[in-house]
Chain A
Amino acid sequence: MILITLVSFWSCKDKCSEKYTYTVEVPVYLSKTDYNKENGQWKEPHHVLNTGKIFVRGQYVLITEKGKGVHFIDNSNINVPKNIGFLQVYGNVDIAVKGNTLYLDSYRDLFSFDISDITNPVRIGKNENVFKYRATAYTNLTKDSVAISFKTKQLTITRDCAEPYVPFFGETTNSSSTLASSNSGSQNQAGSMASFLTVGNYLYTVEINQMYVFDVTDSQKTTLVNSINLDWGVETIFASDGKLFLGTRTGMRIYSLAEPTNPKFLGSFEHAISCDPVVVQNDLAYITTRSGNMCRNGQNQLDIVSIADPQNPQLIKSYEMQNPHGLAVKGNDLIVCEGAFGFKKFDVNDPKNIILQKNNSELYSFDVIMLPNSFLIASRNGIYQYNYDFQLISQISNL
């Protein structure tokens, strides 16, 4: 009897069931037909939720919302800016403007829009797969649908432990982080953290270790004319006086635009590995380097470098900063964004002895554009407009 009982119980196995609850980013799909129809659509204005690059075109401020498109703001009255619409472009990171043509990326594609009527941008061109290293649009397995956004979802998997474990991985595609662009001396102006830039009849874009040169002479037809290999870690591009200044993780690179379709390397200014936008005024380059995340262990500092001889840039002086990001210079004023530490204005009349004039330690800031009577600060949740006495004039994210 006991033996029978033992044998019968021995055949009993342990029971095990598992419940796994976790949070993932799941794609929100749109059919490919609808995706192509929706990508580039002009939409009603809505709140600026996730600030990306900022670009000023005359009275208009263009703000990218990472991966989603561009907000158009009428800033003719700086006290009461007006949100006039949203250009929906999936996978967008950066923008540049030449004349009445807006250039912007959509994942690996380059789009161009006619913005003669700023309230009704019209798509006029598309160059497919020109950017090698940017994120691609995320598609489903059958490739007939494209992810237009991702939403956080809590998933629960219940299984018997005997079943094979098939984990579900939530997919996240963050567009490759690119920074701003600058076009000095025109009505167009970008932040210091730009990666798109138009100079003359050419559009220059940088990503990781590539510089692309597009001929945009004909607004109806954008042509990739050159692709130049660069050292790894290119982040920002700035133009001044017939030269390109590239901010890279290891220093500033200077290229001559004597031959616009084929920029030639002139010289470089090296520093420890860090993140570093650069702006230039006359013979001086202002470079911030910072530590943190992707920026490794760089020093938090501002370097003022003489570029009188672009083949041999010389450090004039370094200034200790807290966590400098984007910056802008105009005349004797230099504004430096300090990330979580706010932003500061310096008098840079004497580059060997710059003087702190104003300091705002409240607002998280990562890029700045200086306008005649105000300046724009890009923060995480929108764009803030201040006068040069550091008084807040308007907050564009709330429009």
Chain B
Amino acid sequence: MTTRTRVPALGAEGWFTTDDAEPALLGQRCTTCGTYAFPKADHGCPNPACAGTTFDEVPLSRRGTIWSYTDARYQPPSPYVVPTDAHEPFAIAAVELAHEGIVVMGQVVPGVSVDDLTVGQEVEVVVDVLFSDDDTDHLIWKWRPTSDGGAS
């Protein structure tokens, strides 16, 4: 029996932990002004009033509320990789993380459609397969409605 390799999708290396129990997005907090950045700020603090160049890597809040949502009824063009034989529509949410004051987009886990979503609903981050090839699963963060949060 072969073991599948699990790696973050190309471009998202270091963007999230793959802790099975409690995965989290990894952002940055400026050690000078305290502002957050996700994805990580490559060229210094994004706050124009701050000259900071050093950051702490911080896990972002695992839960947030839906700021807005939509879905992809048609197959997106390359470089999107269709994970199944034929395109299956998937939902996309933009999720507000209150503590960090950031809205982060992401796919919603399979099986959840726009009919199951509302603005303000609580969701949590999970790590899921974006697509697979040969013996490798390419991983990405997705949003999943919380079992205890429900629709607001």
Q: Do the two chains belong together in a single complex?
A: no
Which B residues lie at the A interface, using CB under 8 A? none
